[in-house]
Amino acid sequence: MAGTFVPSAALRGLCWGIDGAALVMAGALLAVHYVRLGQDVVSAGFLVFAIGEGIILSGAAMDLAASIPSFGAGSSLWAVALLLISSPRVFPFLVRVLGLVAAAMFAATAVQIYAGGALQPITAPLPFYAYPVFVATIFGWIWALLKNRAPVSARAEIVA
């Protein structure tokens, strides 16, 4: 998200490149985690999220206008991913609501781009105001994962 606020295109591309690669990795790891827990829909959501982020990552260093098609495709996949992740009762209610709101905002962004709108990744109001909701959702996922994490000693007993 930091790339959205930096003044330089080169620094924005660098921030988005680092952020995007980390989010693809996180999406893949979370997909594996949730498939092991038997939460196939949530797992599929994180897989779709990783794919969508990969598409958005492909335009991170491009001119903003040139990245609109890949941003539109990635936004639509983000919307689908957030819907898949937030629909089952796996995460706390507030986190799921934030995810559904972010999904609606990214779906609206994608629809406008597909309809010929020139929405860039930093265009306000959408998608610019979708990012804080999205980031709050991601922090909710992190909080839920850390809250439900078993202590190291308990994990050692499970393995043994």
| pLDDT tens digit sequence for 72-101 | 999 999 999 999 999 999 999 999 999 999
Structure tokens at 97: 């609501």
Q: What is the mean pLDDT of residues 40-63?
A: 94
Confidence (pLDDT) at 152: 55
Question: Is it the case that residue 8 has pLDDT exceeding 70?
Answer: yes
Confidence (pLDDT) at 15: 87
Domain boundaries, the chain: 2-159
Confidence (pLDDT) at 60: 84
Question: What is the reported pTM?
Answer: 0.88
Using CB atoms within 10 Å of the CB of residue 92, give its burial: 0 to 12 exposed, 13 to 18 middle, 19+ buried: middle
